[in-house]
Every structure is written in C-alpha cells, then in structure tokens.
C-alpha cells in the first residue's frame, strides 16, 4: 500500500464491549443552509462504567463551534481524527455540542447532504457522525426531538422522525417545524428531509382502530407515478398485521423519494428515505419488474419497523439479525401477494448467480461476520439473501405455527432493545422446543456447503436407501469447516411420474430430512420400483448438490415433480449438462448441436396449455453467463458465451413457429393490468421474444413500437440485444428521444446498451458517460451503465486485452474520493475472479495493485482490494 503505517485497522466481533456511556435523549436543532448548516445537539448523558473517565464521541467532516457541559463552556476535550474525547465529566450531565457542516460538498451521500435541491440524510451504518459528535453505535438507544429551521420558499416541507409537535414562521422568510419520536432508537435510524415536493396523502386504519396518516413525497411533477408505492405500503401494513401480528405504532408514516441515494431505501423510524427507483412508476415509464420491486422494497422497509427499529442490532456484526429476517419477510409478502413459485425461482437465481460467487471470492464471510474494516462492505448478498435463506430454513424446520410463536417470543423479549442473532435463534428454540444449537453454525460459518448423494435400491425388500454427505470448501476467511444443520426436502417419483409416499418402519415420515452429520443415511420402505429422488424441493437449503441425474430422470422431474421449483431446477440441470459438454467442444473446436430430447422438451412446454404462465416464463429463461460459470472449476469466458449463444439461436430456429405462436397468444391475452395473471402473460411474452428475434425480427420491432407499456418495450429491446436484429438501432434511438429527460427511465436504456454484446461494447460505454442523461455523481446512473457492463457483459468486460479491467480501475480511482461506498460495490466483478485463467488473473492483479498504491485509498476499497490481491496471489 502507499503508506503501510496508515492502513485501516480491522474490528472484531469478539472484541465487542458494552458502551461506557449512554445517551438517553437528544434534542437536535438544525439551521439549514446549503454550504453552512449549523447543528445544535443537546443530550442527556449517563455514565455506565464507573472505571471509565473520558467520553469518546465519533465525528467526521465536522467543524466544532462550541461545547458545553451542564450549560457551561467546557474546555476539557481533545479532537483527533474521527473522534472527540471529553474529560472531567460528572456521572450524569447535559451535553451541548454545536457543529457546522457543508451538505452541498458532501458527495459521499452519508450524513446530511443535498439531493438535487433538497436536504436529505443517510445515517446507516455510520453516517450520523457526519452530522454531530455522537456515540454513533447501534446499541446506544435514545429518544429524539428535532427542530428544523430553513428558508420557507425553498424548503416548504421540513421532515424528521416521529410525530409533528409544533411549527411556526420567522420574520426572515424562514420557518421551523419540531418533531418528536417517542421510541428509543439508535443514531443510524435518524432522518431529516427538507425540500419542495409533490405530496400524496392517504390513511390506514390499523386493526386496533387507529387512523394512521400516510404521506409520500416525490419530486415535483411525479405525483401520478407514486400511487403504486402508496398502495404497496397499505398492503404491507395489512399483511404484517395478518401474517405476523405486528401493528404500526406512530400516528404518521412518511416516505420521501430522492434521486441521489447510495442504497435502495432506508427504514428510518417513521420517515423512510427511498431511492426514486423504488417509488416512481406508471405503466408508461416502468416495467412489471419495477412495480414488483417497488412492492417488495416498500414492504421491506415497512417491515423493518419491528424487525430492525423496535428491535435493533447490538453491533454491526449482527446486521443479518435485521436484514436477513426482513428479507425473508418481504419475500413472503411478495409470495403471498403474487406467485410463490416465480418469486422463489427469482430469489434462487440471485443467490446462485451472485451470492455463491461471493462465498467463493475474497470477501467470503458468514452471515454474521467476525471481522470488518469498513462496515459498508458488509451490506452484502451474504448478509441479506443468504441471511434470508437461514431464516427460511428455520421456518422449514419449525413450520409456520412454531415459527410465528418464536417471532412472538422474540418481540416480547427484545422490544426496545439492541439484540443479537443468538437472541433470535434462542427465541425460536425456546418457543418451539427444538434444539437449534447446531443450527447456529450457519451464523458463524462462511461458504456454500456441498451435499453429495448416494442411492441404493433393494428390489427384494422394496427399500430405497438415501445417503447424504456434506462438506463446505475452504473459504478465504475460514480454512476449516464443520457440519451444519441442513434441511433437505425430498420427493420420490415412480417411473410413471406418481409420487411415492415416504415411510419408514411402516410409518409416514417427513419429506424434510435433517442432515446434521458429515454423513447420514435414510431407508424408505414400501418402494416398489427404483425411484427418482427429487432433492432440495423449494430449495430447502442454500447448498450445492453433487449428484448426477440422467437425462431421463431430469425429464421425469421436469414433467412430474410436485414442487414447481424442483421442476424449474431440473430444467436448469438439463441445460447445464449440455452447456458443460458444449464448452468442452468449443475449446476443442468441435461443432455444436442441440439434442432432439432438449428440443422436444421445450416443444412440449410450449404446447402445454395447463402450465402456470409465470412458471413457463422462468422455464424458458436461459441461465445467464454468470449462472453457467458457477458450474465450472475454471471459467472460459469466451467458450461459455459461444455455447450459450448457440443454444439460444439453435433452439429459436428449431422451434420458430411454436415460439411465434405463443408470443402472439400472449400479446392477445394480456389485458395490460397489474394483476399477477397479466404480469405472467407479459413475462411469458418477453421470454418468447428472446427466441422470436432470430426468425421474425419484425415481430420484436412490432412489440416495441405498437405497445405503450414499458414492460413490452423493454422486453423487445432485450430481445433485440439477444438476436442483434437490424431494427435494434431504431428502437433504441426512439427510446432515447422519448425519455432522455428522465434519468430514472434512462437507466434501463443505459443498462441494455452496456450489456449488449454487439460491436465495441467498451467504446460504447465510454462514449455514454458523456451522454446528457448520465452523471458520474448519481449512483443510479453509475450502476446502470458501468455496473451493467462489468456485471452483465462478461465477454467484453473480461476481454483478453484487459481493457475492461483497466477502465473499471479508472472509474474506481475517481469514485474512491467522490463516493467510496459506490466504488466498493462496483469493484465486485474485478475481485470475484478466482476461476479465471492465469492471463486474466495477472491483468487483474496489475489493476488491483494500482488501486492499492493510491495515496488516499478509502477504507471501503482498501478492504476489498487487499482481500482480492491476497486470494489472487495466494
């Protein structure tokens, strides 16, 4: 590194110490000015540890104007990098600190900053220290009152947590509003917004009869794009009462949509701040995926009110306590309102294509990490998505009734507290009576377990034996692994597709087998013929299977498995088997061909009138290059791309007429509503268009130009990308001319341009950074263009000349100073490359070493760069 003495220091979960002081309440007074905002914070502080003298507060990018103890100027303090240490303090006292900050200059979007013309905050994980000096840690819970003063014309809405208690006007054109939040919360849940917005108002009557005001604030002119978000909020409030018995607690619930935001959304108590991407939508500007994403994220942040706010994390190592649990809750919300099968498939796709890679990469960590340098780096798919899978396994093992009893125990025990992951599992264990001590290893062990399978059939005894073995490969952070508690849901299928009842010793047994040892066996009775065993129904555990199915077995499961996820998964295995053979043929310069059995399977699906349309759309969606790469020990980027391209085009041409007929039927059946039945028709049409473009490109162009729905337009544009049709340019030009004034809608265009494999993709991406709709200061634009190129255009990002790596390193160097949090998320495809060939690894090492040598490398990038180099060189 440029200066080894200045290397960031890691923090360890094992070093946790309870706070020596606590803050019981804080009164904040903001005088908002774009370049010189004054913050007065008056706190009641109590010493908890009599052996500790100094009060050490966190603070960054602050100018200290004054400090008082019990209303008297206090000189006994010392300022150092990131800290304010105050000495000579009584046991209990009032602390007043006045600071000044520059929101306009804050391009990191942490703390208080300007988003366009509005003021906005983002305090999770450690942003509150950019507002005032404070005990900025999640286990210090205080009640907050907030007074905001600002120019009334520029900022007519002044918002903060809790309930509005007072307001007034001043002679100098300013006005003020006071807010009070009666529920103790950590500093990361503080929020403030000031600006001029359009406001959508509604209300919700809780089950206890309380009338709750609902307010949704959006940028001027976007009011008609906010109604779906409001409907989603009301649906989430109702669902949480019905499914989890949890009711909202304040008199008002507010959501503000802002354009400049590092994350998707933030669950601040009573005042959620959202990235506009997850609020604004109408059928002309947003796709069905956008509508469903808004519903899920609105639900997620609302569900945090109990699983995150009322009960928060003791320390940041426990992040999955709130995030894994709340992701599980939002997944269940989406599944209860929509298609459970389709939602499960989409969740597993994300896990396999990205989280499994994270497990195998240099930043591998358990869902409860043991070591951290920069906490922002652990807002990961492992903590969120794998964390949700761990909660789902608990639900699978306990069942809905016992799981809900555990939730009730958890809430009753820990409401108003900062809790741990162990507290949650203990509540589940105590409420259900089930021993979960071994299950806790999921919280402390990283990596993706592999479950190996052996079967044996005894025809004379009519017994089928199933032996499961588990192992977890060594990861960058943990060389040694222990057995886990893995629920494996199974079904036995007869040759005619009938389900064989599971029994042992003459008694029925559960379909969920509990694998708790390195190897275990089960024997099933009354099995008249050798069955086909369906494994991991509903993806009952986040593991990989080591078991070779025959093509005949996969076809049997595709057609007859009871579980819809298992049917889809069998299709993925069938295609993956072909892909592995095809990649080998490409490497040996042999010709590729598509087996008649695969063509026949797809043809049968296309003609199946009874199959769920949403499920069929997923069955017809060919795995991404990232998903395919996960099946290889060493990844050949170019060979995978050629094999996948061939598969899609060959299938498209072999079944040109059935694909075209089904696409036409979808177009005619769609009523263009947001009903899930119509969403399914459109998703199926989109899947068909991916193939139709190879034989009837005019149908793809027609799907774009003849529809007013953004879903259809984007589906056609994606199909134009896949088949590289002649009409692609006119479609993309039309979209650009229509939407170039709207950055949020243009994000879709940027993403498709960046992921298109035709032409010189890197030159196209570089040119688009100069596009009038693009801004290097907006995280959404960066993710849509540069993130899409690096993540979704593997053949060009990983080009053999290394130009893709060099370009991303240049962008990361720029963002390192401007917005380290975005840089840290953008670097992922540069470090999750352990399976690449030596030549590419050498070029990546060169770029990482260049980043490591930067004079002021942020903590966010330092951690990932150093870990990436360590794994690549190791």
pLDDT for the residue numbered 834 = 87
Q: How confident is the model at residue 704 (pLDDT cuts 50, 70, 90)?
A: very high
CA distances for 11 relative to 8, 18, 369, 382, angstroms: 10, 15, 10, 19
**Can you tell me the distance from the alpha carbon of 72 to that of 86, in angstroms, rounded to the nearest whole number?**
14
Per the CB < 8 A criterion, the answer to whether 366 and 482 are in contact is: no
Burial of 24 (0-12, 13-18, 19+ CB in 10 A): middle
Q: Give the end-to-end CA distance of the chain in Å, rounded to a whole number.
A: 17
Mean per-residue pLDDT of the chain: 97
Helix axes 421-432, 387-414, angle to 10 degrees: 80
Burial of 738 (0-12, 13-18, 19+ CB in 10 A): middle
> How many residues does this entry show for the chain?
874
What digits encode the pLDDT tens for the residues 253-288?
999 999 999 999 999 999 999 999 999 999 999 999
Mean pLDDT of the 600-604 span: 97
What digits encode the pLDDT tens for the residues 117-174?
999 999 999 999 999 999 999 999 999 999 999 999 999 999 999 999 999 999 999 9
Mean pLDDT of the 582-586 span: 98
Per the CB < 8 A criterion, the answer to whether 229 and 300 are in contact is: no
DSSP state of 498: P
Residue 606 host element (H or E): helix 596-607
pLDDT for the residue numbered 437 = 98
**SS3 label, residue 258:** strand
Nearest 10 degrees: Cα torsion 554, 555, 560, 561? 20
Per the CB < 8 A criterion, the answer to whether 120 and 273 are in contact is: yes
What digits encode the pLDDT tens for the residues 528-570?
999 999 999 999 999 999 999 999 999 999 999 999 999 999 9
Per the CB < 8 A criterion, the answer to whether 482 and 507 are in contact is: no
**Can you tell me the distance from the alpha carbon of 638 to that of 325, in angstroms, rounded to the nearest whole number?**
39
Q: Which residues contact 398 (CB under 8 A, 6 or more apart)?
A: 406, 428, 432, 434
pLDDT for the residue numbered 871 = 95
Question: In what order do the strands lie in the sheet containing 142-151?
Answer: 72-73, 63-69, 92-101, 37-47, 21-31, 142-151, 174-185, 163-169
Per the CB < 8 A criterion, the answer to whether 727 and 698 are in contact is: yes
pLDDT for the residue numbered 4 = 42
What digits encode the pLDDT tens for the residues 764-780?
999 999 999 999 999 99
Mean pLDDT of the 694-723 span: 98
pLDDT for the residue numbered 426 = 98
Per the CB < 8 A criterion, the answer to whether 229 and 255 are in contact is: yes
- 2 pLDDT higher than 60: no
**SS3 label, residue 359:** helix
- CB crowding 754-781: b at 16 or more within 10 Å, else e: bbbbeeebbebbbebeebebbebebbbb
- 5 pLDDT higher than 60: no
Q: How confident is the model at residue 621 (pLDDT cuts 50, 70, 90)?
A: very high
CA distances for 163 relative to 128, 147, 180, 252, 274, angstroms: 21, 12, 5, 7, 19
Active site (catalytic) residues:
301
**Can you tell me the distance from the alpha carbon of 128 to that of 135, in angstroms, rounded to the nearest whole number?**
9
Beta-carbon-side half-sphere exposure of residue 205 (alpha carbons within 13 Å): 1
Per the CB < 8 A criterion, the answer to whether 785 and 753 are in contact is: yes
**Can you tell me the distance from the alpha carbon of 518 to that of 466, in angstroms, rounded to the nearest whole number?**
14
- 393 pLDDT higher than 70: yes
Per the CB < 8 A criterion, the answer to whether 492 and 511 are in contact is: no
pLDDT for the residue numbered 164 = 97
Per the CB < 8 A criterion, the answer to whether 181 and 161 are in contact is: yes
Mean pLDDT of the 296-302 span: 98
**Can you tell me the distance from the alpha carbon of 269 to that of 834, in angstroms, rounded to the nearest whole number?**
41
Within 10 angstroms of residue 446's Cβ, the number of other Cβ atoms is 24
What are the chain's domains? 23-47+54-196 (2.60.40.1730), 450-541 (2.60.40.1840)
pLDDT for the residue numbered 6 = 65
**Can you tell me the distance from the alpha carbon of 268 to that of 632, in angstroms, rounded to the nearest whole number?**
42
Residue 858 preceded by cis peptide, ω within 30: no
Phi, then psi, of 143 in degrees rounded to 5: -90, 145
- CB crowding 174-189: b at 16 or more within 10 Å, else e: bbbbbbbbebbbbbbb
pLDDT for the residue numbered 518 = 98
**Can you tell me the distance from the alpha carbon of 172 to that of 709, in angstroms, rounded to the nearest whole number?**
48
Burial of 144 (0-12, 13-18, 19+ CB in 10 A): buried
Q: Which residues contact 794 (CB under 8 A, 6 or more apart)?
A: 625, 626, 629, 637, 640, 641
- 634 pLDDT higher than 70: yes
Decide: pTM greater than 0.85: yes
Mean pLDDT of the 755-765 span: 97
Q: What is the chain's percent helix, strand, coil content, to nearest 5?
A: 45, 20, 35
pLDDT for the residue numbered 7 = 84
pLDDT for the residue numbered 835 = 93
**Can you tell me the distance from the alpha carbon of 253 to that of 309, in angstroms, rounded to the nearest whole number?**
14
């Amino acid at each position: 590194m440029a200066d080894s003495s200045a290397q960031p220091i890691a923090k360890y979960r094992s070093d946790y110490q309870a706070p020596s002081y606590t803050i019981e309440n804080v009164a904040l007074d903001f005088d908002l000015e774009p370049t010189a905002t004054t913050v007065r914070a008056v706190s009641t502080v109590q010493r908890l540890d009599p052996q500790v003298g100094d009060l050490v507060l966190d603070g960054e990018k602050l100018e200290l104007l004054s400090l008082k103890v019990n209303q008297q100027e206090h000189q006994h303090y010392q300022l150092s990098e990131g800290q304010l240490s105050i000495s000579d303090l009584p046991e209990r006292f009032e602390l007043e600190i006045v600071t000044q900050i520059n929101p306009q200059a804050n391009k990191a979007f942490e703390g208080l900053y300007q988003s366009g013309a509005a003021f906005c905050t983002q305090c999770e994980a450690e942003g509150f220290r950019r507002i005032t000096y404070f005990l900025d840690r999640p286990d210090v819970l205080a009640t907050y009152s907030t007074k905001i003063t600002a120019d009334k014309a520029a900022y007519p809405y002044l918002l903060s947590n809790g309930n509005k208690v007072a307001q007034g006007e001043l002679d100098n054109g300013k006005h003020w509003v006071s807010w009070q939040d009666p529920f103790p919360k950590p500093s990361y849940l503080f929020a403030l917004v000031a600006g001029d917005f359009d406001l959508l108002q509604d209300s919700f009557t809780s089950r206890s009869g309380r009338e709750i005001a609902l307010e949704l604030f959006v940028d001027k002119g976007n009011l008609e794009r906010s109604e779906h978000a409001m409907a989603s909020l009301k649906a989430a409030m109702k669902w949480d009462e019905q499914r989890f018995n949890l009711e909202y607690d304040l008199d008002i619930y507010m959501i503000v949509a802002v354009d400049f935001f590092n994350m998707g959304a933030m669950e601040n108590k009573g005042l959620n701040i959202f990235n506009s991407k997850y609020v604004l939508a109408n059928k002309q500007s947003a796709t069905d995926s956008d509508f469903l994403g808004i519903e899920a994220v609105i639900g997620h942040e609302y569900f945090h009110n109990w699983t995150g706010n009322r009960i928060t994390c003791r320390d940041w190592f426990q992040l999955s306590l709130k995030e894994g649990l709340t992701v599980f809750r939002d997944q269940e919300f989406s599944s209860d309102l929509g298609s459970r099968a389709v939602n499960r498939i989409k969740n597993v796709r994300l896990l396999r294509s990205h989280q499994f890679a994270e497990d195998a990469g240099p930043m591998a960590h358990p869902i409860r990490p043991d070591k951290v340098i920069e906490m922002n780096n652990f807002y990961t798919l492992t903590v969120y998505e794998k964390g949700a899978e761990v909660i789902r396994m608990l639900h699978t093992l306990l069942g809905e009734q016992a799981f809900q009893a555990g939730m009730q125990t958890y809430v009753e025990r820990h409401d108003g507290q900062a809790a741990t992951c162990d507290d949650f599992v203990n509540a589940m264990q105590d409420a259900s009576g089930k021993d979960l001590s071994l299950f806790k290893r999921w919280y402390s062990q990283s990596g993706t377990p592999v479950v190996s399978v052996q079967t044996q059939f005894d025809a004379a005894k009519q017994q089928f034996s199933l032996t499961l073995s588990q192992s977890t490969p060594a990861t960058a952070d943990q060389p040694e692994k222990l057995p886990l508690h893995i629920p494996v849901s199974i079904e036995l299928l007869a040759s005619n597709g009938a389900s064989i009842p599971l029994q042992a010793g003459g008694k029925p047994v559960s379909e969920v087998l509990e694998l708790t040892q390195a190897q275990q066996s089960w024997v099933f009775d009354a099995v008249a013929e050798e069955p086909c065993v369906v494994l991991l129904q509903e993806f009952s555990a986040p593991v990989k299977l080591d078991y070779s199915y025959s093509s005949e077995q996969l076809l049997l499961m595709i057609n007859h498995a009871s579980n819809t996820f298992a049917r889809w998964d069998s299709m993925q295995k069938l295609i993956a088997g072909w892909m592995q053979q095809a990649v080998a043929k490409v490497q040996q310069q042999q010709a590729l061909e598509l087996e008649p059995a695969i063509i026949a399977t797809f043809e049968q699906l296309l003609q199946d009138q009874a199959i769920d349309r949403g499920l069929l759309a997923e069955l017809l969606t060919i795995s991404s290059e990232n998903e395919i790469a996960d099946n290889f020990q060493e990844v050949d980027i170019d060979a995978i791309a050629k094999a996948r391209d061939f598969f899609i085009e060959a299938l498209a041409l072999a079944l040109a007429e059935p694909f075209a007929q089904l696409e036409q039927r979808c177009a005619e059946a769609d009523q263009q509503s947001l009903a899930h039945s119509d969403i399914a028709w459109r998703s199926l049409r989109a899947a068909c268009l991916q193939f139709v473009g190879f034989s009837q490109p005019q149908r793809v162009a027609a799907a774009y130009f003849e529809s007013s729905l953004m879903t259809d337009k984007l589906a056609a544009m994606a199909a134009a990308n896949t088949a590289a049709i002649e009409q692609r340019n006119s479609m993309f030009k039309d979209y650009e001319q229509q939407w170039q004034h709207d950055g949020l809608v243009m994000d879709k265009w940027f993403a498709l341009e960046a992921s298109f494999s035709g032409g010189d993709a890197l030159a196209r991406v570089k040119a688009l950074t100069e596009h009038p709709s693009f801004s290097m200061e907006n995280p959404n634009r960066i993710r849509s263009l540069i993130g899409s190129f690096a993540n979704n255009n593997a053949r060009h990002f990983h080009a053999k000349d290394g130009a893709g790596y060099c370009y991303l390193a240049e962008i990361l160097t720029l963002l390192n100073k401007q917005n380290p949090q975005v840089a840290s998320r953008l670097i992922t495809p540069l470090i999750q490359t352990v399976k690449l060939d030596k030549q590419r690894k050498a070029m990546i090492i060169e770029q990482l070493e260049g980043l490591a040598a930067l004079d002021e490398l942020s903590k966010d990038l330092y951690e990932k760069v150093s870990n990436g180099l360590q794994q690549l060189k190791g």
